[in-house]
Amino acid sequence: MFAVEKSIDGHNVKLMYVETWDGLYTAAGLRIPQGKGPFPLVLFAYGNGGGGMPWIVEAFEKKAYTINRFVEAGYVSAWIRYRSEVELGYNIGGPLIRDVRQGGDLFNRSPLEYEDEISVVEQLKKLPEIDADKAGLVGMSHGGEMALKIISEYHGLKAVVASEPAAHEYLSLNPDKTAFINEETQLRNIEEMEMHEIDKVMKRIDLSIAKDRINKIRTPSFIMGRNTDHLQGIFMAVYELLKSSGKETQWKSYDHDLHGFVFPEKNNSGEYHVDDVQAEAIKDSINFMNLHLKN
């Protein structure tokens, strides 16, 4: 790991490059609470990958409100980045197999973005400021789906919050005509996919695949929905499958207009204006982490 200290928006941030499984480096940024550690760790993942260190710096400049609240609550808090999402890479690629050839790594495929997150978690746990036995993750949108992928095969997290988890690939969802193929790239466009009703979602997922993935989970989860989101049925399906599989999970849906409401951003005047619903969601997230990381 390589790290430098930088003041961003009035706070000291440790900017880091963290090695991933295939030897490449990805960006992370940590804020460490005042006082004597080691502290529990919460990582934050927002949407699709890419962006590198400029993304991390901008996140601390413009959408650090939630991270700041977690730091005040006594958590080492980290924005993390990872490589770009690979369309259906999780479904098509299969499990990552790691071997050795001529003294170096040999993989059956390239690591995926959620596997970068696992490598970041494992390396950050080695820092002296962090209690390695107390790590959690807050993932939003694609970051929420990644959280589910992670805890289906990695058991080094004590709790995850999956906010508006766009878990269509994780559930092996067969989209309807509201998704379509981009003629130029031949990749799916799912930006306007309508999956608001849970009944519709349950009829279009591969239930055996979804249940097999969920059955491997050991980590407590908090699934956050958003009442008016066009993927609300997916969020609800994730929770219902977790619950019916006997997993430790909880659900709450919020009435908010903004996708990603759990991570408030500064307005054009450079100020955070956090409404009651956002404040409630952040408080709920901290309380959930307190329950599992501080007891």
| pLDDT at 182 (0 to 100) | 87
Q: What is the distance in angstroms between the CA of the first residue and the CA of the last residue of the chain?
A: 30
| pLDDT at 162 (0 to 100) | 98
| CA 183 to centroid of chain Cα atoms | 30
Distant-in-sequence, close-in-space partners of 23: CB < 8 Å, separation ≥ 6:
105
- Alpha carbons 158 and 146: distance in angstroms, whole number: 16
pLDDT in tens, 234-264: 999 999 999 999 999 999 999 999 999 999 9
The number of distinct structural domains making up the chain is: 1
Number of alpha carbons in the 13 Å side-chain half-sphere of residue 121: 27
**CATH number of the domain where residue 187 is located:** 3.40.50.1820
Q: Which of 255, 258, 275 is nearest to 65 (CA)?
A: 275
| pLDDT at 185 (0 to 100) | 87
| DSSP string of 108-165, one letter each residue | SSPPPHHHHHHHHHHHHTTSTTEEEEEEEEEEETHHHHHHHHHHTT----SEEEEES-
| pLDDT at 189 (0 to 100) | 79
- Whether 160 and 124 have beta carbons less than 8 Å apart is answered as no
- Whether 259 and 229 have beta carbons less than 8 Å apart is answered as yes
| pLDDT at 194 (0 to 100) | 93
- Alpha carbons 42 and 66: distance in angstroms, whole number: 11
pLDDT in tens, 257-277: 999 999 999 999 999 999 999
| pLDDT at 25 (0 to 100) | 97
Q: Residue 17: which domain range? A: 2-293
| pLDDT at 271 (0 to 100) | 96
- Alpha carbons 236 and 253: distance in angstroms, whole number: 9
| pLDDT at 178 (0 to 100) | 87
Tokens of 187: 């990749």
Residue 211 sits at φ, ψ, to 5 deg, of -65, -40
> In DSSP terms, which residues pair with 85 in a beta bridge?
none
| pLDDT at 180 (0 to 100) | 82
Those residues of the chain that have pLDDT short of 70 are: none
- Alpha carbons 60 and 58: distance in angstroms, whole number: 5
| pLDDT at 220 (0 to 100) | 98
| pLDDT at 184 (0 to 100) | 87
